[in-house]
A and B are shown apart, each in its own frame.
Chain A
Amino acid sequence: MSFTPEIYIQAKALTKQVQLTDSTLTILQHIDLTINRGDSVAIVGASGSGKSTLLGILAGLDTATSGEVYLAGQPLHALDDDARAELRARQVGFVFQSFLLLPSLSALENVTLPAELAGIKNATQRGRELLALVGLTERADFYPSQMSGGEQQRVAIARAFITKPAILFADEPSANLDETTGAKIEDLLFELNAQQGTTLVLVTHNPALAKRCAKQATMQAGHLTMAVAEVTSVA
């Protein structure tokens, strides 16, 4: 039951260099990567190996020094900041390592924020549904400072799905949490991902977590190697 998957992200010969005071640091070297719609891909690697940098470029938060990136058919490398922002608003969801909720908004408001910014109607309704899905119905009116780290990350996950993004980028989503809470967060993330049919790019240095993804890629000193070949089925 094999079919030709639709390519969702394609990176060609990506190189990222940063200029330091007296030298040039190469963070990413000539990276080629293809991610299909509906895929779940884990990027693993030691701390400082360039995982976040790659994620940033793939998500259109950053630009590469050379090479091409296509996201949903759009050439990110050719778009300006604003065009990339609009693309993110429509297509991309994020879950960050340090949650990054807006401290002055309640849980529900944090969840609905992307929808409101994108001008989506009935955001509150969908926000409540998502909060229910992550098990935080009771916490809708809590502020981030009143919630535990795990709760905050669940709010962040709900926020990531509010705009029904085609792709979700998660940068070490459980790294700031204790093991049990982290595991619950991971379960939730995969569950929602499966349910919504979202493409997932997950950065982690936890091999166990990486195993839950259909594909794994390893970052090492700026080079990327796909560890596992195509898996047979995609949910």
Chain B
Amino acid sequence: MWPNVAWRLFWRELKRGELWVIAFALCLAVFTVVSLSGITESVRSALAQRSANFIAADKILRSSLPFNEAIFEKAATLQVKSAKQMQFSTMVFAGDEMQLVSVKAVSASYPLRGKLTLRQHEAVDAPIVPTFSQGEVFLEPRLLQLLQIKAGDMIEVGVSQLKVAGVIAEEPDAPLSVFGNAPRLLMHVDDVAATEVVQPGSRIGYRYQFAGSDALLTQLETEVKSLLTLHDRWQKLDRESAVGSALDRAEKFLLLAGLLGIVLAACAAAVAASQYSQRHAMSVAVIKALGVTTATARKIYASHLSLVTLLSVSIGLALGQFASSSAQWAIVNWLGDYQAEFSSRPLWLGLLTAVICAGLFSARPIWRLAAVPALNVLRQRQQEWQFDIWHLATGAVAVWLLMWLFSGDLWLSAWLFLLCVAFAALLLGMAAVIVKVAKPMSAGQSSALRLALANLRRRLWPNSFQLITFSLALFLTLLLYFLRAELIGQWQQQVPVGAANQFLVNITEAEKPQISALLTKNQLTAGNYYPMISGRVLSVNNETLTEPDAENSDKAESENRDTANRDTAERKKGEQQADQTGTAANAETAERRRGIGRELNLTWLSQMPANNEVVKGQWFVDGGKAEVSVEVELAERLDLAIGDTIGFSVGGQQFSAKVSSFRKVDWNSLQPNFFMILSPDLMATFPATYLTAFYLPPAQQPLLNQLARQFPTVSVLSVDNILKQINDIIAQVSLALTVILALVFAAAVLVLVAQVQATLEQRQQELAILRTLGAKTVFLRRAVLAEFAALGLMAGVFATVLAEILLAVLQVRLFELPFSLHWNLWWIGPGLGMLLITGLGYLLLRKLLIVDAPTLLRRALQ
């Protein structure tokens, strides 16, 4: 009965490799989805954990009110790790010296994420201090110079005497900005009360830091909701900093790669299923002629499909899970402190993919297969496979659903999907045109080429689906390849190799040549010397701005909070400022809003810094005349217009300048940046100090000690750690992108293989006929190669055009990168298409080409 026959046929076909292509395609679809979403998820969580290092915690609750112990108790019951942190500015004293410092007071569990390195003294190779205890403080190295003390001395913080136990060498949540911060002092949170620095009205930032799994943190967030006041808010992960945006783009890339992987896998399944149907059309006609009803034929082939699906889905799931586990293992190995979490989402996504691919892409062709009329056994020609619009339509909708499910992004999936559909339609149209045009063209060519063109033309229309899949596979590969290069390039540009990692501040005019000489002697180059002077903004358009007072501070805090919740640009500033200088910055923001700058670093330049951009007005013409260029966001806060007059006070002297331009400043660039740049004529008479930056290779670290000894008044600010962290992340993300690109490329190649194999049967017949007609092997090989080369070239060109268009759109819309043309694409695309498709075609057809004519004929006539 039919189950026996079905079972026997199944095993025989499996053994003969008949079912392999379809099994492989399904397996590939499942594998792609499982591995890509698994890897994406691992990379995403690794990156999230990595960026957690930048805030020394997974989640932070910020408050302007003293710690509520109930919140920490809740965390403890949930087994969420927690740490306390207070931030404030205060004066510290050491002998006759005093200095404004930015204090970070932390509990013993700090940092929950990332690494804090404390050293016994400022030498770069000084012994590491493993723990710090109450009564001790650690200082930023430049503070030792400013206070004229050394490690081991005592300093006064408020009314307490605390011992300087060493210096801060590496701080996970160090501010990313180098300027405008008071130097950092680290102390124990339990010492704060004794200092009596905290008084009613003092501006203190309280931070509750937490670390734990996402689920626990979410639970914590809901459970403490009732304990929170207006003064508490959860800090969002910083998405706007250099690192944040790099991660953001990487995530988008991974998502996109996953989506494209789904499209490719679905294509492979569709190709394989229709190929299978075509190959089996005659077998179905035969068994139906032998008396099998359509329903039974359907059962036989449906059982095959179910068995194949079952088999390939299991293998696909296993392999996919293996790939993503390996990736996770690699990530763990590499990041060390990364905790991998198992997620079932990739698995059920994979299952769903299989169901959709098998159901929509395979079930329908097989349903139609069973409907092949028995009468076909009497027809000499095989029935032409008809274009099945329903199959295409339902399949397309299914792919889109899958994309949506995978990405959770309606807009992106719909958009990408429509693009692929438009692309397919375009190609079909082009194929139609080429069929028409290629006819007269083929006359007068060499005979191998003519045969190739004739073959191509004959197959182009019925098999333009093949061209579409070729092009689609190439297009997706090219797209990812170039996006990846683009992203990596952008990141590297942000932090170029050899970017300045040391800043020297407070250089006198006389020290300038000496410092240059010292650097030159050590084969280092100093950058520009920027003049710098402290000043205040006194008035805008002659309207004097008042000093703030303590009573306003709460209002300032809440205003800052509002600001932080507004649009991204605003949040960026709010977050960044708050992150960098803690409460002092909050206050500063508020002060600035009412127009009073605290001490502001002013500079004067005739040339605009390279990474700045004038957004309104005009940069100084001929060096400018009593003019000022204002950073655009500051200008908005001050409610300035071009042409306004700002009154400044520098060293007791007052003068005014006309606002002539607004500048956009890249705060992520780790370059010297200024809010206000004055025209040189205004400042020429003031005594200024200078700022410069240079790159110091790790091997030459001891030079810093020499600099500190030789120029005691010059402060050295090192951004080496920040740069290293950023570079680390970029390297990791780049590797992840490369792995995923390789995966998508493999998927694309498999689609190509499935597609070429789909035409093997037909080619076999043709070759048999040509052989019988006396065509030589060399001739046949040339004709086949020429045909594949032409096909590959065509697919490559289509893919290139489309990739260029989509790259432009993605660059601008999704990744917010500047638009650029990709000249390389124009030869890589067609070249890759030609090489890949010719190579694959030849590899797959090689066997057919060397088989002798009688054998070919026999096979062809089966």
Contacts and interface: CB of A to CB of B under 8 A. Distances in A.
Contact of B377 (A100, A119, A144): A100
A117 interface: yes
Interface string B283-295: 1011111111111
Contact of B293 (A59, A85, A90, A148): A85
A158 to B, nearest CB: 13
Contacts of B296: 117
Interface in A73-125: 81-82, 85-90, 92, 94, 96-105, 109, 113-114, 116-119
Interface in A139-162: 143-145, 148-149, 152
B291 A81 contact: no
B821 interface: no
Contact of A85 (B1, B374, B378, B862): B374
B12 A117 contact: no
A145 B862 CA distance: 7
Nearest to A60: B374
Interface in B358-393: 373-375, 377-380
A98 B289 contact: no
A104 B862 contact: no
A117 B378 contact: no
Contacts of A92: 291
Given A52-B378, A56-B378, A117-B2, A105 B290 contact: no
Interface residues of B, number: 35
The interface residues of chain B, by DSSP majority, are classed as helix
A118 B291 contact: yes
B372 to A, nearest CB: 12
B16 interface: yes
Contacts of B287: 102, 113, 117
B380 A98 contact: yes
A149 B858 contact: yes
B5 interface: yes
Interface in B257-309: 282-283, 285-296
A110 B283 CA distance: 11
B4 interface: yes
A68 interface: no
A39 interface: no
Nearest to B290: A114
Contact of A148 (B375, B378, B858): B858
Contacts of B289: 59, 61, 88, 94
B291 A109 contact: no
Interface in B499-523: none
B9 A104 contact: yes
A145 B2 CA distance: 25
Nearest to B279: A103
Contacts of A117: 1-2, 5, 287, 290-292, 296
Contacts of B380: 97-98
B491 to A, nearest CB: 54
A105 B18 CA distance: 12
Nearest to B19: A104
A61 B291 CA distance: 10
A213 B293 CA distance: 32
A134 B2 CA distance: 27
B17 to A, nearest CB: 10
B74 interface: no
A85 B293 CA distance: 6
Contacts of A103: 16, 283, 862
B16 A113 contact: no
A188 interface: no
B295 A145 contact: no
A56 B858 CA distance: 26
B5 A113 contact: yes
Task: Point out which of A98, A148, A152 has the most chain B C-beta atoms below 10 A from its C-beta.
Answer: A98
Interface string A173-199: 000100000000000000000000000
Contacts of A100: 282, 285-286, 377
Given A94-B377, A117-B287, 20 more contacts: A61-B373, A61-B377, A61-B378, A82-B294, A82-B295, A85-B292, A85-B374, A88-B289, A88-B374, A94-B290, A96-B378, A100-B285, A100-B286, A103-B862, A104-B13, A104-B283, A105-B9, A117-B292, A145-B859, A152-B862
Interface of A: 52-53, 55-56, 59, 61-62, 81-82, 85-90, 92, 94, 96-105, 109, 113-114, 116-119, 143-145, 148-149, 152, 171, 176
Interface of B: 1-2, 4-5, 8-9, 12-13, 16, 18, 282-283, 285-296, 373-375, 377-380, 858-859, 861-862
5 contacts: A53-B378, A89-B292, A94-B377, A103-B283, A113-B290
